[in-house]
Chain A
Amino acid sequence: MSDKSNDQRRDPGADPQPTDLARRRFLQRLGVTALAAGATASAPAWGGSTLGDAFADFFQDHYQRMDADEVKETLARIERKAKRRYGVDIDCKDTPAIPGVVFGYAINISKCRGYRDCVHACVEENNLSRDTQYIRVVEMHHGSLNLHEGDHYYQGTVPEPGKYYLPMQCMQCDNPPCVKACPVEATWMEQDGVVVVDYDWCIGCRYCMAACPYQARHFNWGDPDLPPGEINPDTHFLGNRPRPKGVVEKCHFCLQRTREGRMPACQEACPTGARIFGNLLDPNSEIRYVLENRAVFRLKEELGTEPKFWYFRDV
């Protein structure tokens, strides 16, 4: 777990660096002054943004260092940006992690039939660029766990005889190599075990993509190809808010849903019931029953990344 907890960030009195604070206050004042100076500037000059928003975007701090007021202001700015860019009123929030909850996932590979319903539910829920997919369903040969022989470009009628289907997405590792690789600490693990990205802090170096053994991270090579009519207005700062160009993004277990008690979109879309999601710390949850009563395995366990994503099969 990261030692920078959300609770510390929320408490303005806990900020140990007064000089840093003074610097931030100065920059904020600078932004406000610039806003006053540039109020008459034409909007498209700042990429469709106002001068004040452009300044505030530039000086936006790391999410974990922002206090409550700054977060509120940032969320409002994100909503304004989405309105300008897509003409959609989105609701961006930063629901904190629920105490006593660590999310885990288990997939029954006997049940998965490779329909890719989860993939497309994820794309629509998470405002993904339409050429990106977080979930990768790999078509594997019966009796083989060699991912090298798998095919995730399969088409046509599924399931094919002699094949089984292995859905892969971000495994939310407990020892995440991507977090260690990030040079600017733009990605970290939250208290509920979900590895998240601050899209505004990411510099797009893609080291985390190279570090991830599951190829779970995706890079926005261009501006996301998002049809404005299909934007999901229920967004989260660390989750599915519209992303800028040139940053890395990944599956976040649908934080905008799961932190409010709902199921992730992929679980909801799965027609076979192969996906089991729940709280690993709750001994009565379904996922704990699966882990305690089934022969489960994880992918690439030998790497020591400790994924919180298990696979099992019907006996």
Chain B
Amino acid sequence: MKLKFAAISIHLALGVCLVSSGVQAQEGGLDLSGWDWSATSDEAAAEPAAPAEPAKPKKPRPGETAIPDFEAEPQAAIALFPDMPNLKVIPSQKDEEMLPCGNCHQWAESDPTPRLLKEPHNNFALQHGLHGKGQFWCFTCHDLEGDGGLRTLEGETLGFDQAYVLCSQCHVQEGRDWAFGAHGKRIGSWRGERQVLNCTACHYQHRPGWLPRKALAGPAMRMGLERPEHWVPLEQRGGRDPLPTPIWERAR
């Protein structure tokens, strides 16, 4: 599952991969318009005749978060704070589909220059604070050398299941709350060993804000309380000042 940015050994397989998926290498760069972005791995693309394994059923989630794998063994958390309680973090499903970078960057060279991301990277919703505006970008968090996992600002490499270390570098208050139980979600039991979800289980790491969603059905209206047709909400009746746009609206 690890990204391989400069894996020479895969180049042979890539030839088959490109031909089979209808992408033609042209002079002056790759034309990726016909690339199948949903291809999960080079083996699957190279041998389309092979029977595809049944995909694990996915629950619909806001954003494309990493889906937690509740059957896997929870991993002991790295202590972010000296007085932090012992946590076990639920790992995420190791799904190649979660890592579309590898579809190209297993053969395409990565440009280490920090820059505003343009084609074809605007396919990805990089809306993480200043990400995508040139200040922060892929290699702020990802490891350029090595296997393409995560990397702290100090250069320590991390697995994807230790994303909380990376996030809490900047989001210190959230990291502290997560470590002590005021942020994030505990799974299973309210007593005994604490099993919690990783940050990426709820926040899509490249666009951590939550998107609005349709609410489920409310209670049945009590008889006599139905709103009349001329109902005007309070704020439209001049009841209060207009409010500033909330942060999730600004992030969109």
Contact = CB atoms under 8 A, between A and B. Distances in A.
Interface of A: 108, 113-117, 119-120, 131, 133, 136-137, 141-142, 149, 152-159, 161-162, 258, 261-263, 267, 270-273, 276-279, 282, 284-287, 289-290, 293-294, 312, 314-315
A265 B76 CA distance: 26
Contacts of A286: 180-182, 186, 194
Interface string B155-199: 000000000000000000100010011111111111110100100
A121 to B, nearest CB: 10
A154 B217 CA distance: 9
B191 A261 contact: yes
B86 to A, nearest CB: 10
A149 B234 contact: yes
A258 B191 CA distance: 10
Given A152-B219, A262-B188, A272 B202 contact: yes
B210 interface: yes
B249 A161 contact: yes
B240 A294 contact: no
Contacts of B219: 133, 136, 152-153
Given A261-B192, A271-B202, A279-B190, A289 B215 contact: no
Contacts, number: 115
8 contacts: A108-B182, A108-B183, A113-B210, A120-B216, A133-B219, A154-B218, A157-B212, A278-B181
Highest count of chain A CB atoms <10 Å: which of B190, B214, B240: B190
A117 B246 CA distance: 22
A157 B210 CA distance: 13
Contacts of B113: none
Contacts of B184: 273
B202 A158 contact: no
B182 A294 contact: yes
Contacts of B186: 263, 267, 276, 286
Nearest to A158: B215
Given A136-B219, A153-B227, A314-B177, 11 more contacts: A113-B212, A117-B216, A133-B219, A153-B218, A153-B219, A153-B225, A161-B249, A263-B189, A267-B186, A293-B180, A312-B182
Contacts of A312: 182
Contacts of A162: 235, 242-243, 246
Interface residues of B, number: 43
Nearest to B174: A314
B182 A276 contact: yes
B12 interface: no
A140 to B, nearest CB: 11
Contacts of A278: 181, 190
B213 interface: yes
Contacts of B185: 270, 273
Contacts of B232: none
A119 B215 CA distance: 11
B210 A293 contact: no
Contacts of A136: 219
A142 B190 contact: no
B48 interface: no
Interface in B205-243: 210, 212-221, 225, 227, 234-235, 240, 242-243
B243 A142 contact: yes
A290 B180 CA distance: 9
A161 B216 CA distance: 18
Contact of A159 (B197, B227, B245, B246): B246
A315 B173 contact: yes
A298 to B, nearest CB: 17
Contacts of B188: 262-263
A289 B62 contact: no
B191 A116 contact: no
B218 A261 contact: no
